Amino acid sequence: MKRRGTAVNDDVPLRRDSHDHLVCSVDDLPPGSMMLAPIGQFGVGVYNVDGEYYAITNYCPHQGGPLCRGRVQGTSHAASVGAGESSYVSEGRILRCPWHQWEFDIAMGCTITQPTRHIRTYPVRVEHGNIIVTK
Amino acid sequence: MVDASVQPSFRSDAELRDYLAPEFRSRAFPSVEKVWYQAPGGDYHPDLWGEDGVRPGADADVTARFLFETIGADSAILNPLTRGNLPDYILNSAICAATNRWLAERWLEGDAGTTFYGTIRVNPEDVGGAVAEIERWADHPRMVQIGVPLQSREPFGKPQFLPIWEAAATHGLPVAVHVTGGAGIEYPPTPSGHPRTYPHYAAFMPLNYFYHLSTMLVEGTFDKLEDLKFVFADGGADLLTPLIWRMDTFWRSFRDQTPWMTRYPSESLREHVRFCTNRLEGPVEESMVSPWMRQLNKGALLMFASHYPHWSLASPADLPAGLDGDDREGILWRNASDLYGLSERSS
Amino acid sequence: MAGYDLSGSVKEVEIVDCDVHPYERSVDQLREYAPKGWEKELFPSGREISPAFLYYDPPDYVHARSMRYDAVTPSGDRPGSDPDFATEQLLDGAGIDIAMLQPIPVLERLPEADHARRVTTNNWLADVWLDKHNAHGRWRGAISVSMRDPVAGAREIERWAGHPYMCQVLMCPQSRVSFGDPWFDPIYEAASRHELPVATHVMGLGPFEFTPLNPVGNQTHWHDFLPSWSLLYVSHLMSLVFDGTFEKFPNLRVVFTEGAFSWVLPTMWRMDAYWRARRSDVPWVKRSPSEYVKEHVRFTTQPLEEPPVSSDYKEYLGWMDVGSLLMFSSDYPHWSYDAPHWASRFFPRSALNAIMRDTAIELYRLPRTVLELTSRDSGRSMV
């Protein structure tokens, strides 16, 4: 799965169709932060992960928990086959659902276990310093 | 038909003592019968006591006639009981060694020996001794598996046991786990303490395999040793579905604590785990049998066992009606034949 | 009740949640309810520190503390410690009409302290949850008794029997003695005389002495520890059957909480087969084990299993008499919570009402209607 990135469209004239939602300015969403926007039935969480923006629905594909209330952190990675050494990776890139603690890769939009379960994601773009989510 | 679990008996403790290395011959060890949990009326099937009073399972000819004539087995896997987890682990290993010598000499030689296969008994609490015993017998053409007790003070997924499983896997020998005889340092047989009745004990005891299995899965034992196979010889496949599904359920929640678990726990079963059948478990209603077997593909996991000479003795007639043909063939002979490489061995 | 108007209509009970965990807001709150003379011993202050037994940890424990992360109260207190917030999040938010509260009092080292701790819990539950914050009548409680002192437990049952909102007795199953042992008879006698079911709930993090003692040694992680709770219940169930408890106490009903339930099907087959083969060992067991189970035992649904192929699970549930045996539970506010509208999708349609409410209504003699919770706010905030 290709990692999604943010389109930055400063050259395009300002446009708003009915599916665009202005979330906030880029100043309001520094790296490592999240803004929960009142879009749709459950809301959409917009994350700034190392300068890239990702928008995910605030609804866990497991049982419908408020996904964006969960913690963003890294996770462990096995360095061995079977129990043994592990290391800490992906700091700031992993979202754990606040209910059953499933781990989602924010950029990939899915769980990090196999088989993957996907989160509903939305395109994010930056226009004239504003973060816009299309739903 | 392959009978995947038969427990041959020593005629007496004196016979075991004859096979013990001389330096151990004045040592005390428990009798094979269990002290607290012997079945009322005895653990052996009442019909199997000979008129000469010979202990059931002690006479190779009588045993062979029953298995190969009466119930129609083509071959049988012998797995003699040991005497419990003794605090003197060296003595315990000596008992295992004596048992292996006795089995090879009295059961695996001669004409009757061509249809018997054997188990290399080892003591998991003596890792070095167990590995040495495996090395001693691994090339014997009739020894087809390693045998360890179900009773343990640590589940078999713990790292201290790895060298034993590695030796087994290296030699292509499955590890059979079976309730042991005797009396040793053991915890109560259920997690709610000592049962008051025999049916409670007998119905629960085989299920303790799951503690071993769950820890092996969480520790990634089967990932470290890709050729390792475990056989839970007392049965318990009836509880497998609900229990392994519980592990599957929470795998995604616990991934970060055990990042080496890269797939659903239940996905390891086909390659690595087998169960002997037991006539006192599983669905009885004919229409349920086939759908029950299909879940987790239990038809590939089960191997028929008579458990001769135990009171719960079974024959192929005890397999449930409603098994589909392929599953039935697998259970009666093919799964065991594949697991133990029997067609290669007999050629 | 802040935030809700209760003067309106009643509504039909649609969902009974049979496993909800109330917690004290603080040690200070609980200490007030300790029996005289026990305050200092149960709730040391000053230089003594009361650590927790932390060696099997649920996911992200340091932050989540075994709870749903979003169930922290508005004042930043422990999830489950604010009855009014629980009303909003569970009763209103998740659509639960009646919640059966099962406190989890700490396990004490000495039997008399264990009993005093449970007396404290009962006093606190009755006052805070069943009285001060129960204007809506939606909370039901359990009389906690100590597995270490059943005679004192029976006295505690007498003390609370007849309370309008105490609907069952609650006991820890980590007893080293199986439930069919005559040791527990005083509890069963009092409970069945008062027609109160006896529920059991695993008390989770506790001292090794009272962690289920695995016959082959203890597991490494919570992941392998968790499925073994089912085996603890398997053994207790076998004991209740084979020790003849249901013959001795024909009125007794038992509820196994949070131990899953799909194990019940093969366990009934297994018990029936061993009973048929060994009847003379247990002549006091006059009926088949599965008959006793169907009549006397109920199981809560959480946590539902999620096998890789979910149609396998639905097929499996179709083999069980789920309409008689099961009662829905969420386990709010724990992390392993099952949302009711998610869980209900797995149940056969013909058994849905039984599982979501009717079996619990019958067992606990609950009303069929409750006061409607009409929010005073016009808008609904996002959960």
> In which residue are the tokens 């019909």 written?
B47
Q: Regarding beta strands A86-96 and A72-78, do their DSSP bridges make them parallel or antiparallel, or are they unpaired?
A: antiparallel
Q: Regarding beta strands A130-134 and A86-96, do their DSSP bridges make them parallel or antiparallel, or are they unpaired?
A: unpaired
Chain B, window 176-235: residues with a beta carbon less than 8 angstroms from a chain C beta carbon:
186-193, 195-200, 202-204, 207-208, 210-212, 214-215, 217-219
Mean pLDDT of A96-111: 95
**How far is residue B162's CA from residue B216's CA, in Å, rounded to a whole number?**
10
Q: Are the C-beta atoms of B4 and B334 separated by less than 8 Å?
A: no
Whole-model pTM: value is 0.96
**Is B104 at the interface with chain C, CB within 8 A?**
no
List, for residues A1-44, the tens digit of each pLDDT value: 344 556 665 555 555 567 899 999 999 999 999 999 999 999 99
C333 vs chain A: nearest CA distance in angstroms? Answer: 9
DSSP C334: B
C-alpha separations of B56 from A51, B100, B105, C366 in Å: 76, 19, 19, 59
Q: Which chains touch A (3 or more CB pairs under 8 A)?
A: B, C
| pLDDT (0 to 100) of residue B71 | 96
What tokens appear for C314 in the block? 């639905």
A21 vs chain B: nearest CA distance in angstroms? Answer: 33
Q: Which chains touch B (3 or more CB pairs under 8 A)?
A: A, C
Flag if B252 and A111 touch (Cβ within 8 Å).
Answer: yes
Chain B residues whose CB is inside 8 A of the A83 CB are 159, 218-220, 258, 260
Q: Which of B159, B221, B251 sits opposite A113 (nearest CB)?
A: B251
Closest CA to C355 of C304, C292, C291, C293: C304
pLDDT band (50, 70, 90) for residue C210: confident
**How far is residue A103's CA from residue A98's CA, in Å, rounded to a whole number?**
10
DSSP H stretches of helix in C48-184: 61-64, 83-86, 111-124, 150-160
Chain C residues whose CB is inside 8 A of the A63 CB are 337-339, 342
**What interhelical angle do C228-242 and B240-254 show, nearest 10?**
150
What tokens appear for B7 in the block? 């427990």
pLDDT at C262 over 90: yes
**How far is residue B335's CA from residue B339's CA, in Å, rounded to a whole number?**
6
Q: Which of A63, A70, A115 sits opposite C69 (nearest CB)?
A: A70
Flag if B246 and C307 touch (Cβ within 8 Å).
Answer: no
Flag if A83 and B251 touch (Cβ within 8 Å).
Answer: no
C192 vs chain A: nearest CA distance in angstroms? Answer: 37
Question: What one-character-per-residue DSSP string does chain A give?
Answer: -PPP--EE-SSSPP---TTEEEEEEGGGS-TT-EEEE--TTT-EEEEEETTEEEEEESS-TTT---GGGSPEEEEEEESSSSSS-EEEEEEEEEEE-TTT--EEETTTTEESSSS--BPPEE-EEEETTEEEEE-
pLDDT band (50, 70, 90) for residue C1: low
Q: Which residues pair with A53 in a beta bridge?
A: A48
Q: Which of B219, B221, B263 sits opposite A114 (nearest CB)?
A: B263
**How far is residue C186's CA from residue C247's CA, in Å, rounded to a whole number?**
15
More confident residue, B112 or B323: B323
In this structure, the number of other CB atoms found within 10 A of the CB of residue B295 comes to: 18
List, for residues B201-225, the tens digit of each pLDDT value: 999 999 999 999 999 999 999 999 9
The ipTM of this complex is 0.97
C258 vs chain B: nearest CA distance in angstroms? Answer: 12
Instruction: Please give the mean pLDDT across all residues of chain A.
Output: 89
| pLDDT (0 to 100) of residue C382 | 33
pLDDT band (50, 70, 90) for residue C380: very low
3-state secondary structure of C222: helix
Mean pLDDT of B148-167: 97
Mean pLDDT of B215-243: 97
Mutation target for B interface from C231, C275, C309, C342: give the one with most B CBs within 10 A: C231
Amino acid identity for residue B37 in this structure: Y
Q: Regarding beta strands C4-5 and C326-327, do their DSSP bridges make them parallel or antiparallel, or are they unpaired?
A: unpaired
**What interhelical angle do C264-277 and C289-296 show, nearest 10?**
140
Q: Are the C-beta atoms of B34 and B310 separated by less than 8 Å?
A: no
**How far is residue C304's CA from residue C104's CA, in Å, rounded to a whole number?**
21
Whether a cis peptide bond, with omega within 30° of 0, leads into B124 is: no
Work out whether the CA dihedral C23, C27, C29, C31 comes out positive or negative: positive
3-state secondary structure of C376: coil
In this structure, the number of other CB atoms found within 10 A of the CB of residue C19 comes to: 25
